[in-house]
Amino acid sequence: MEKDLSNYRKSYEKGELLLENVPENPIELFRNWFIEVDTHFNVDETNAMTVSTIGLDGYPKNRVVLLKKYTYEGFIFFTNYNSEKGKAITENPNVCLSFFWHSAERQIIIKGKAEKISENLSDGYFESRPRGSQLGAIVSNQSDVVTNRNVLEKNLSILEAQYEGKNIERPKYWGGFIVKPVELEFWQGRPNRLHDRIRYQLQSDYNWKIERLAP
């Protein structure tokens, strides 16, 4: 099978990103962009992001997860620590996050180091999840091979009966990671493929070096 995609073309004309207009701290620019996209553009799950890790087999792997919190310290998401993703991060905490908001013609690429958040923060988020999501975190040995879907649904039914009328505690193998950034790149589509690219790099004095990159 073959399909030529060379004629897929689009002119990007929805915004600009000028060096003289960006804040000194990249988290402020991230916050501004996130709010703008979430408020003014038709984006489903603005907090969806790609997490890239180096797997135990030496290959990079990308997957989409949901950002649950961002602060000046970093970006937080939750997962099963025993999953393929969790094991990869434990082995090599250098990860990359990326956001692509097509309707806004924007993307953000974030390099950083991931580490587990405190247990009480993971507990707090787990308690806020819907009951079905809590049980799902327990019933699924994430990334393990399963015979069929019926196995999962049967185990879920067993757990529902087991926990009926009871509080569900967070399993110790499930919790949050925070990615503390060392580099952020903001990309704004522009006409004639002369896109705006602004890169922030964390320096040894914890200030950010800001540069424009060629598209």
Q: Does the reported pTM lie above 0.75?
A: yes
Nearest one of 163, 170, 179, 159 to 129, comparing CA atoms: 170
The helix (H) or strand (E) run that includes residue 181 is strand 174-188
Catalytic residues: 193
What CA–CA distances, in Å, run from 204 to 30, 75, 153, 208, 209? 22, 20, 51, 9, 10
pLDDT at 10: 86
Distance from C-alpha of 79 to C-alpha of 200, rounded to nearest angstrom: 28
Measured in degrees and rounded to the nearest 5, phi and psi for residue 132 equal -60, -40
pLDDT at 144: 83
What are the DSSP E strand ranges found in 60-121? 60-66, 69-70, 75-80, 94-101, 106-116
Half-sphere exposure of 123 (CA within 13 A, CB side): 5
* Residue-level pLDDT, tens digit, the chain, 215 residues: 899 988 888 889 999 999 999 999 999 999 999 999 999 998 999 999 999 999 999 999 999 999 999 999 999 999 999 999 999 999 999 999 999 999 999 999 999 999 999 999 999 999 999 999 999 999 888 888 888 999 889 989 999 999 999 999 999 999 999 999 999 999 999 999 999 999 999 999 999 999 999 99
- Whether the Cβ atoms of residue 133 and residue 214 lie closer than 8 Å to each other: no
pLDDT at 53: 98
Please, what are the domains in the chain? Answer: 19-119+174-213 (2.30.110.10)
